[in-house]
Amino acid sequence: MSVSNFRWDHWIDEENKEVWVYIPGGYPATMGLPLAIQRAFPGYKGTICSNSLLQKLKGNEQEKSN
């Protein structure tokens, strides 16, 4: 699953139906995450994470595909 118009950097965990999101501005932008997840990824849970964790998640995914 990929959503090209989702505004924040993210990683999708298909197995657990979670979307990990890094929001650089923090609060109050984080307040919009639940609605954005509901619209872009119906049935998924949104989780806010740090940029370093997001990069690790993305890196792990690339290692698995190699």
User: What contacts 18, CB < 8 A, 6 or more positions away?
Assistant: 12, 44, 45, 46, 47
Note the pLDDT tens digit of each residue in 16-41.
999 999 988 878 878 889 999 999 99
Q: pTM, whole model, 2 decimals?
A: 0.79
Q: So where are the chain's domains? A: 14-50
H or E element, residue 36: helix 33-40
Which pLDDT score, from 0 to 100, does residue 63 have? 60
